[in-house]
Amino acid sequence: MSVHVEIPRPYESAPGRFTVDLVFPAASKRRATHHHSVAWTLAAVHGVEASTPYKVNPRWSIYEENFGNKERNGWQDMRRLTVQGGARAVARYLVALERVIDEVEALATLAVRVFGAWKRSVAAEPHLEYEDASTMRTRAREFRADALRALVQGLGTPRRGAAERNSSRPMWEQYGAVADEVWAETGGVDLERADEEAVTVQLLRMVSDSEACRAVVVEAEHLVAAEAARVEEQRAPWAVENAETGREGQMELFPEETARVPVVAVWQSVSSDRRRYVPAA
């Protein structure tokens, strides 16, 4: 299981159609957005539908939007992605997604290793004159994020040959060229491949869960029908007795003197400032 994406159990949203709500838990919002982009690109490859949920801003108000600090009503939640499709298509997509995200992250790690090797080389000395350990850690972190973005943007598109580096520029400005280098050296990432054994396991899990849910629904319907029959059976003797006795049975329950027209409250004016309660005759 990949640590870069949380995959809950897909649920059957329609007969033969499954839905899964993915979550990208990376600590960095930028990194989670890159993972979201990978999942979005992969959806088109495997023939499933993807949509980004809308996240409402709890601080929003019409006053804040128009006259305050310009708070928006909401935005797309790039940490989540809803995927829908047929059972086998969704199963293949989920199996491939874990592998593709892990491989793209591995390529970004290779890119930052290239950066580290350059930092220790003689060619880097002119560019490191005004850099210290703290700034170089920041440079390395930003370089990895930029290389990851370049790798993600190149998914699903034809790759050009690796561009040559420019020795007159620092390495942190050439993340695109390094991303192309590691892609060419490793052969890139196959977006379509999915382990068939893992797909079968995922598919069986999805179908068995949906069948279990249907069994629970059928059992609940049977219980409701049985309860309704029991209630109707209890009411049946009363209905027969009332039908046989007719109005006489009603009169026994409600004597003649109490079965008259109910008392009506009539307010009669006695004076301009006093009223009294007079029951109707």
Element (H, E) at 23: strand 17-23
Query: Where do the domains of the chain lie?
Result: 11-207
- Distance, in Å, from the CA atom of 84 to the CA atom of 79, rounded to the nearest integer, reads 17
Report if pTM > 0.85: no
Q: Which residue has the tokens 């990376």?
A: 26
Total number of residues shown for the chain: 281
pLDDT tens string 170-222: 999 999 999 999 998 898 899 999 999 999 999 988 887 555 455 545 555 56
Band (pLDDT 50/70/90 cuts) for residue 234 is confident
Cα atoms found within 13 Å of the Cα of residue 55, Cβ hemisphere only: 10
- What is the share, in percent, of the chain residues with pLDDT greater than 90? 47
Mean pLDDT of the chain: 80
- Is residue 50 within 8 A of residue 82, CB to CB? The reply is yes
Band (pLDDT 50/70/90 cuts) for residue 259 is very low
Three-class DSSP category at 67: coil
